[in-house]
Structure 1
Amino acid sequence: MSAEPDTVHRVALRGRLGRRALLAGAIGITALAMVRPAQARPGLDAAVADFAGGREVQAGRVRFDIPPLVENGNAVGVSIAVESPMTQLDHVTRIALFNEKNPQADMVVFHLGPRAGRAAVSTRVRLATSQTIVALAEMSDGSVWSARANVVVTLAACIEDLL
């Protein structure tokens, strides 16, 4: 009977080592999953080209209101309006916002239809640092229109991937 407690103790010890190894492995895998390759983020031009789907992006028809100088990049107000009658035959189908230096190039895509009444949206975004912001509008005829703005940010947000 004296061998039985020793056997139980060894089995329990192996179980603890297994849990520790499992925990260490899980932490290691999580750390590896968080490390992204430097080229994983598409550039601004690639994101705009992807949205346009091979169509030519034309300047105009999009009015883009964003402050040129932002004190804090955590919540920047943005308004986008597109010249469109918003009829069944001529309306805006999508409005998108893209950035140059945030961890993700695409910020938001709004889907609209003729019953929206007007082609205007507004939101708040986070900006990692001073950068170029692009607003795009896709029309029902397939054309894509754009506006660009340069924004200077004095206190950045989204800085985890920039360091």
Structure 2
Amino acid sequence: MSFTLMSTAFKYGERIPKKYTCDDVDISPPLQWSNIPAGTKSLVLIMEDPDAPIGVFTHWVLYNIPPDKTELPENVPKTLVVEGIGMQGVNDFGRVGYGGPCPPRGHKPHRYFFRLYALNTVPNIKQRASKDEVLRIIKNNIIGTAEYMGTYSR
């Protein structure tokens, strides 16, 4: 079996429900994963929009997720440290935690990729880290990646 990521809130490639966007309550969707690679010591989740007009836009950076975790509940608190879940970095909105889809009006649907990285270490990443900082620190320790994608337009 391969390392997989999914959500009960929407199917792969389908529209992300409005409640998980800036047009509603802007809470994170529930995510589940399975078959993490043997030797995984921690997980990192990054959500980004490659279709943003300014280039890739980061919506969520979550790291030091314990390897025994198999899911994230809906509405992960937007705090630096989330008890039992991990630490959150700064997204491209300039805020800590999840920032939902919020594409410019009139654009074709944007794609939102959730990528879960399995690491063979628990990296020492400072609080409020950016996606670029996290990826730079973990790049040599990634032993598996799972991906899930939803779309949204306004």
TM-score bin, normalised by smaller chain: 0.3 to 0.5
Q: Quick one: higher RCO (CA 8 Å, sep 6+), 1 or 2?
A: 2
Task: Report the structure, 1 or 2, having the larger helix content.
Answer: 1
Larger radius of gyration: 1
Normalised by the size of structure 2, how large is the TM-score? 0.45
